[in-house]
Amino acid sequence: MARPVVAIVGRPNVGKSTIFNRLIGDRLAIVEDKPGITRDRIYGISDWNGKSFSVIDTGGIEIDGEDMMLKSIRMQAELAIEEADVIVFMCDAKTGITLADEEVAQLLFRSGKPVVLAINKVDNIKKVEDTYEFYSLGFGDPIGISGSHGTGIGDLLDAIVNNLPDLIEEEYDEDVIKVALIGRPNVGKSSLVNAILGEERVIVSDVPGTTRDAIDTPFERDGQRYVIIDTAGMRKRGKVYENTEKYSVMRAMRAIERADVVLVVVNIEEGIIEQDKHIAGYAYEAGKASIFVVNKWDVVEKDDKTMKNFETKIKDHFLFMTYAPIVFLSAKTKQRLQKLLPVVKHVAQQHALRVQTHILNDVVSDAVASNAPPTDKGRRLRINYATQVATKPPTFVVFANDPELMHFSYERYLENKIRAAFDFEGTPIRIFTRRKSDES
């Protein structure tokens, strides 16, 4: 099941990134008092009253040039309208309603999407009356909030949750492997879909962003059923969209949420850039099985070290995903294409693997015997036992005398031992430490 999507929309400097951080409970976005400063992360997960949803800060979608500001704001609103289930429209109590606010309001009003109107910088009770003028925008009661003080965030979350749609059950059987292709524009995602399917199902062009719509394509190979979820580009064309690298996140995140296996497609001609790390990071954070697919293998000059050198480069750049296998291929010539689906099937099996508790505890006991936990101020972590509590991704709880004594390096050591014992190739694994008395 895919989470509903909530997008935060508003003109620059109304505090979108601060509220984004409040909603996801983490300092993922950079907050600075300059328009367009959000650069690193525009997507996170929030939970409120038992409901989970994805949050997007559209302020992370940047356009070059001051003269593009209104176009940028309009584009962000259009992105939110197209992709989000609920839109948080943020305005600024200090400045009141501006021309840009009115333009965004018209777009949102016509969309028919649920809109929650949030007025930021209501830092004290006297500022509440500054929200009254925003009734004229036509979205009902404005919610006064303060990003800097955190006031009103609970009311905002209540309003968001009240407007969320119900989760839609996945329409495919459990044994169907759902595969999402992600990657920046022009790495060859659509060509790869065509190559796998053996037919021209997807529009292919040399211009980045020419895939026209989201596509689910079921197919069967060697008795295994698959569904390819292709992350499409924007439906609307134009320089504003083509110049925006991060718009693809809004489509990719939905595909990632639904997928079992994520193919991170990299163009060997262009090498690895920072955006590739961001895109792969979403798959990692979502706990999905992943494979690096190095496309355009046919066009590079090769010797006996080329593949090994590029593998090393990928592992160096993606230290957080060293478990992900790497497949080199050419979507255009279908060179090495036959190697891909067996790896997809294997990592999907590892992603769903459940290990028996007694065997898991034998592995953990051997790991502790080989390398005892270090002491901290005279106290030593004592592990009682471990159990697997979930799959997709495999998730383990380690019960111990004091969770605070579990150093991240020792947790990594246990993860490596568990991964080595049970393979778990291609999938992240999660480990949580709990006090033994916390067990219910």
Taking residues 35-64, what's their average pLDDT?
67
Could you tell me the pLDDT band of residue 237, with boundaries at 50, 70 and 90? Answer: very low
Q: For the purposes of burial, counting CB atoms within 10 Å of the CB of 197, is it exposed (0-12), middle (13-18) or buried (19 or more)?
A: middle
- Are residues 151 and 186 both part of a single domain? no
Count of all residues that appear for the chain in the document? 440
Q: Residues 328, 367: one domain?
A: no
Note whether 149 and 234 are same-domain residues.
Answer: no
End residue of a domain, out of 315, 336, 351: 351
195, 148: one domain: no
Q: pLDDT over 90 for what percent of the chain? A: 45
Q: What are phi and psi of 197, to 5 degrees?
A: -80, -20
Do the annotations mark residue 296 as ligand-binding? yes
72 is in an annotated binding site: no
pLDDT, tens digit, for every residue of 197-206? Answer: 886 555 444 4
The per-residue b/e assignment along 42-76, b for 16 or more CB within 10 angstroms, e otherwise, is bbbbbebeebebbbbbbbbbbbeeeeeeeebbbbb
Q: Is 59 annotated as a binding residue?
A: yes
User: In degrees, to the nearest 5, what angle opens at C-alpha 162 toward C-alphas 161 and 164?
Assistant: 60
Question: Residue 89: beta bridge partners?
Answer: 9, 117
The whole-angstrom separation of Cα 52 and Cα 326 is: 32
Same domain, 365 and 272: no
Is 90 assigned to a binding site?
no
- Residue 238 marked ligand-binding: no
- 386 assigned ligand-binding residue: no
In a domain, 240, yes or no: yes
Q: Is residue 417 part of a domain?
A: yes
DSSP-based three-state secondary structure for 318: coil
Asked if residue 413 is part of any domain, the answer here is yes
Q: Is 304 annotated as a binding residue?
A: no
Q: Tell me, what DSSP letter sits at residue 167?
A: P
Q: Is 11 annotated as a binding-site member?
A: yes
Check residue 70 and give left, alpha or beta (phi > 0: left; psi -120 to 50: alpha): alpha
- pLDDT confidence bin for 111, thresholds 50/70/90: confident
Q: Is 153 annotated as a binding residue?
A: no
In a domain, 375, yes or no: yes
Overall pTM surpassing 0.85 (yes/no): no
316 is in which domain, residue-wise? 177-351
57 is in an annotated binding site: yes
Q: What is the pLDDT of residue 169?
A: 63
Intra-chain end-to-end CA distance of the chain, in Å: 27
Structural contact between residues 102 and 95, judged by C-beta atoms closer than 8 angstroms: no
168 within a domain of the structure (yes/no): no
In a shared domain, residues 103 and 54: yes
Are 280 and 334 in the same domain?
A: yes
Question: Looking at the domain assignment, is residue 172 inside a domain?
Answer: no
Q: Is 331 annotated as a binding residue?
A: no
Residue 37, burial from CB neighbour count under 10 angstroms (0-12, 13-18, 19+)? middle
More confident residue, 29 or 320: 320
pLDDT at 34: 34
Residue 182 sits in the same domain as residue 257: yes
Shared domain check, 397 and 323: no
SS3 state of residue 421? helix
pLDDT interval class at 438 (50, 70, 90): low
The enclosing domain of 118 has a CATH number of 3.40.50.300
183 assigned to a ligand binding site: yes
Say if residue 48 carries a ligand binding annotation: no
Q: Is there a binding annotation on residue 300?
A: no
Domain end residue (candidates: 351, 369, 393): 351
**Is 44 known to sit in a ligand binding site?**
no
Same domain, 184 and 298: yes
123 annotated as belonging to a binding site for a ligand? yes
**CATH number, residue 393:** 3.30.300.20
- H-helix or E-strand spanning residue 276: helix 274-285
pLDDT of residue 346: 97
Same domain, yes or no: 190 and 307: yes
Q: How many domains does the chain have?
A: 3
What's the pLDDT score for residue 11? 84
Looking at residue 21, its pLDDT comes to: 86
Q: Is 205 assigned a ligand-binding role in the annotation?
A: no
pLDDT at position 1, please? 59
- Residue at a domain's end among 333, 351, 369: 351
Scan for tokens 């992370």, then name that residue: 60
Q: Are residues 131 and 254 in the same domain?
A: no
Letter for the amino acid at 235?
A: R
Chain mean position to CA 420: 27
In a domain, 170, yes or no: no
Residue 169 domain-assigned (yes or no) = no
